[in-house]
Structure 1
Amino acid sequence: MTPEQHHGTRSASAAEATRPTPPPADATHPAPPPAQATRPTPAPPPADPADAPAAPAAPSVLPARAAWSAVIPAGHTLTITDLHGNQAVDFLVYDAHDTAVRYSAPDTIHAQGGLFLGTGSVLLSGEHTPLMTVTADEVGRHDTVGGACSKESNTLRYGHHTWSQHACVDNFLAEGARHGLGKRDLVSNVNWFMNVPVEKDGALGIVDGLSAPGRSLTLRAETDVLVLVSNCPQINNPCNGFEPTPVELTIGAPA
């Protein structure tokens, strides 16, 4: 190779080195920036029982021994009808937005100055706030002190052979669990249609009921309330005539 040729080759190489590198074919369409990491969607808060729709206004027949619950909006009514007569209906009520606010037998009894419930009785909470009011009653007297039957109380009163019998506490626990309630949330309950006379010395007994087929009572919700009902399964005393029967539950619109 001559010096001229060698020089020409170096010149060509230098030219190649200084020549700008052509842009990529897709330089006018730059790649999108890397995707940003997305934050996980937070879990929704626990459902408020009061957000659940109220039960249908059409009457609902509750079978013997069964449980029932509903959120009843303020101003609406609940009518309980004793279809066959002499059927006790165990009942608990809570503020639907704060179930720590719940029926209190002591507050209710003290405020009205008597043990028995009837037309005009107001079911009060432990905070002394009104939950429901009895607006109509065809029986005249309902129990506040007899409590709910349980496996334990049945065994104590009637013998160990009753241990396996279904009881109101079982109903309250099963139905209450649907609303996040447990055993610690159960308090002394109301017994609609149940006749528990109390003597002057404090003695009480569970005797034949005062109700009759088709008699009813109506309660008005004073705030949004959650109601639990146990159609009492007791067969060892006369509170159900020794044969539990269905009742009817009807939620009505404000008057």
Structure 2
Amino acid sequence: MKTFNPAKPDGENETLTIALPDSGTPTLGNTYQVPARCGIAVKMTAGQSIKITNPSGHQVCDFWAFYQHDLNEYLSMEHLRTSLGKIIPVPGDAIVSNMRRPLLTFLVDSSPGIHDTLIAACDHQRYQQLGCNDYHDNCTDNLRMALLAIGCQAPAIPSPFNLWMNVPVDASGNTSFEAPLCSAGDYVVFKAEYDVIIVLSACPQDITPVNGANCQPAPVDFMIFIDD
């Protein structure tokens, strides 16, 4: 039986070649783009903030954060839901790790506030279940490759904070995949409370309407800054 290696991608794409220089260190105030279907890792120090923008208004962004000094600590949606007592964070909420520490604070959300903390990142196996016979870009591999591109390895595949992903839960507990409810140019802002590595994936999902009714993945923009 094949041994599972959380750091090893099942395939490859442009993510491996688009890393920020100096092992993922951004220039403050610069706007960067995560190409459609790809991922990027970026280092943040405590006190810096990240603004993530949805230029098209229909693109989901899988969002992870790892503690820079020990990647075995990372944002955990399971611990987050327990900490908050709800399934969707809002500005003012602490975004906690699997060690129950607030690695980030959610500062701003210009969208209607519909995000997802329930659904695992898409992966090669998910697309096989959806009928893909060949390799399909996926957020799990984007996470792996984004970290490899800056000289790191994923210690695990945590469930992401799926920004702008619309997964309603009905009164019977059933879920469905619906188009995002945000508008072009909507953005969110998070502040790093510790040194972290952020990974963003412009979700490649083009079979279900996760990225809009037309199922067309699009880029995501981000910027790192410090409030004066």
- State the TM-score, normalizing by the size of structure 2: 0.84
For residues 167-188 of structure 1, what are the alpha-carbon distances to aligned partners after superposition, in whole Å with 9 as ceiling and x for unaligned?
A: 1111111112234223x42111
Shift of 1:214: 0.5
Tell me how far apart the structure 2 counterparts of residues 187 and 203 of structure 1 sit (CA, whole Å). 23
Tell me how far apart the structure 2 counterparts of residues 126 and 93 of structure 1 sit (CA, whole Å). 11
**Aligned residues between the structures:** 202
Letter matched to residue 188 of structure 1: S
Shift of 1:54: 3.1
Which structure has the greater CA radius of gyration? Answer: 1
Structure 1 stretches lacking a partner, 5+ long: 1-50
Which one has the bigger helix percentage? 1
| 1:156-195 paired onto structure 2 within 5 Å | 156=129, 158-161=130-133, 163-177=134-148, 178-182=150-154, 184-195=155-166
Letter matched to residue 121 of structure 1: D
Tell me how far apart the structure 1 counterparts of residues 25 and 84 of structure 2 sit (CA, whole Å). 29
Picking from 67, 75, 95, the partner of 1:123 is: 95
Q: 1:54 aligned to 2:33?
A: no
Q: Do the aligned partners of 1:117 and 1:141 also contact (CA within 8 Å) in 2?
A: no
For residues 100-124 of structure 1, what are the alpha-carbon distances to aligned partners after superposition, in whole Å with 9 as ceiling and x for unaligned?
A: 1111111111111111122122210
SS in 2 for 1:171: helix
Tell me how far apart the structure 2 counterparts of residues 99 and 56 of structure 1 sit (CA, whole Å). 23
Tell me how far apart the structure 2 counterparts of residues 234 and 119 of structure 1 sit (CA, whole Å). 27
Q: 1:222 aligned to 2:193?
A: yes
For residues 72-115 of structure 1, what are the alpha-carbon distances to aligned partners after superposition, in whole Å with 9 as ceiling and x for unaligned?
A: 11111000000011100001101111111111111111111111
Q: Do the aligned partners of 1:131 and 1:222 also contact (CA within 8 Å) in 2?
A: yes
SS in 1 for 2:71: strand
Letter matched to residue 124 of structure 1: V
| 1:63-212 paired onto structure 2 within 5 Å | 63-139=35-111, 140-156=113-129, 158-161=130-133, 163-177=134-148, 178-182=150-154, 184-212=155-183
Tell me how far apart the structure 1 counterparts of residues 169 and 92 of structure 2 sit (CA, whole Å). 21
Tell me how far apart the structure 1 counterparts of residues 137 and 34 of structure 2 sit (CA, whole Å). 16
SS in 2 for 1:173: helix
SS in 1 for 2:198: strand
Q: 1:233 aligned to 2:199?
A: no
- State the TM-score, normalizing by the size of structure 1: 0.75
Shift of 1:52: 5.4
Query: Quick one: percent identity of the two aligned structures?
Result: 28
Structure 2 stretches lacking a partner, 5+ long: 1-21
Match in the other structure for 2:226 = 253
- Note closer, same or farther for the CA distance 1:146–1:97 as it changes in structure 2 (3 Å cut): same
